[in-house]
Amino acid sequence: MGSGRITIEDVAAAAGVSRQTVTRAMNGLPEISRRTRELVLRTAAELGYRPSRFASNLAARRKTRAVGLVLGSLRNPYYTELAAELLDVVAPRGWHVLMASHEQGDAVELVAALSGQADAIVGYFPGDEAALVAAARGVPLVQMERPATVPGMHAVVLDFDTAIEALLDELRARGARRFGLVELAAPAAGDGAGRYRPTFRRQAYERHAGPDSAAAVVVADESIRGGADGLARLRAAHPDVDTVLVFNDLMAMGAMQQAQLDGVAVPGDLRVVGVDGLSLGAVMTPPLSTLSIDRRALAEEAAGIVGTLLDGGEPPPHPSIVRTVTPRPLWRESA
């Protein structure tokens, strides 16, 4: 007895029909009688037959598309809301989405693993771009929030320079005099662990916050706790800060929590502004003002790039495609 898997051939033999008839029954094709269809389906079920998805996709005319999505963490609503948007955007095109997060490994490892199952990979890839492209083995990569610098890498970037300049201007108009920033710390583990590099958000902040405020920066972990902790350290070092920009909304929630704990009135004593535009921010007390990133636009741009690459008719190699999305302030009550 062959010990391998049960194939279409086994079913055909058991049912006393041809392979083709089994295909017709399994896939609900029309050219088959009710009787034989049911016979085939029954014997397939009895044998526990399961079509090989690789074989059927290889033989089939229409290949189904799949895109890999690499996120920082599924525990940060920013990423999951982005994932939600991407699903919404690609579902109508019939694309599948394979999910992965940095919590499971190096970006390079994730890309290598996904490259065997996806036709394109989009998301956040910290690390060396050349290494990423090599790991992708020809599968196109679309990177978020960082420009593409090598062939095979494409990008959707965020224009924080424009956005943060406008944000700070408006905050000044609302009375802000002394800014502070709770910036993202270097990742503790994985790719590039411990190697801190100023984020684009910080760079934009330092360019526009004014000389007094540019130095009022602390780094903190990407979590609610991290934000709380960061605010405490910021206020200890810079008691005169009256307006704080926090790296993202999750951390800003922690900062607001800390402010409340310390008896600091928001926005009376301290204006707090996050970045992301999470809908959850509206449930805070007071509701969180934020520099909102249009996740739908990000998802659409990324999907657009993938579409161009995969279905654009142009044969590879393709020059890097880069699109830009500009965040916009969402004024609620914390600033």
Partner DNA sequence: TTGAAAGCGCTAACAT
Partner DNA sequence: ATGTTAGCGCTTTCAA
Angle in degrees, CA 152, 158, 164, rounded to 5: 155
DSSP one-letter code for 92:
G
User: Which of 162, 199, 257, 308: binder of a second copy (CB under 8 A)?
Assistant: 257
70 interacts with, out of a second copy, DNA, none, CB within 5 to 8 A per kind: none
Q: Does 7 bind DNA (CB under 7 A)?
A: yes
Q: Does 64 bind a second copy (CB under 8 A)?
A: yes
The rounded distance, in Å, linking the Cα atoms of 252 and 242 is 15
Question: What is the SS3 assignment for 325?
Answer: strand
Give, in order, the Cα–Cα distances in Å from 309 to each of 66, 145, 226, 261: 13, 19, 39, 51
User: Binding string, 102-141, against a second copy, x = CB under 8 A?
Assistant: -xxx-------xx-xxxx-----------------xxx--
Q: Which is nearer to DNA, 51 or 304 (CB)?
A: 51
User: Which of 44, 155, 158, 171: binder of a second copy (CB under 8 A)?
Assistant: 44
Q: Which is nearer to DNA, 56 or 149 (CB)?
A: 56
Q: Does 268 bind a second copy (CB under 8 A)?
A: no
317 interacts with, out of a second copy, DNA, none, CB within 5 to 8 A per kind: a second copy
81 interacts with, out of DNA, a second copy, none, CB within 5 to 8 A per kind: a second copy
Q: How many residues bind DNA (CB under 7 A)?
A: 34
User: Which of 3, 48, 61, 319: binder of DNA (CB under 7 A)?
Assistant: 61
Cβ atoms within 10 A of the Cβ of 315, count? 6
CA-nearest of 91, 94, 99 to 123 is 99
Give, in order, the Cα–Cα distances in Å from 4 to each of 1, 10, 57, 282: 9, 11, 20, 56
Give, in order, the Cα–Cα distances in Å from 317 to each of 107, 156, 171, 312: 23, 19, 46, 12
The rounded distance, in Å, linking the Cα atoms of 156 and 268 is 37
Report 169-228 residues binding a second copy (CB under 8 A): 224
Strand partners, 67: 97, 120
Structure tokens at 61: 């005319």
Report 16-35 residues binding DNA (CB under 7 A): 16-24, 26-27, 30-33, 35
Amino acid at 24: R
Binding site for DNA (CB under 7 A): 4-5, 7-9, 16-24, 26-27, 30-33, 35-37, 49-52, 55-56, 58-62
Binding site for a second copy (CB under 8 A): 6, 26, 44-58, 63-64, 66, 69, 73-75, 77, 80-81, 83-84, 87-88, 91, 94, 96-101, 103-105, 113-114, 116-119, 137-139, 224, 253-254, 257, 260, 279-280, 282-285, 315-318
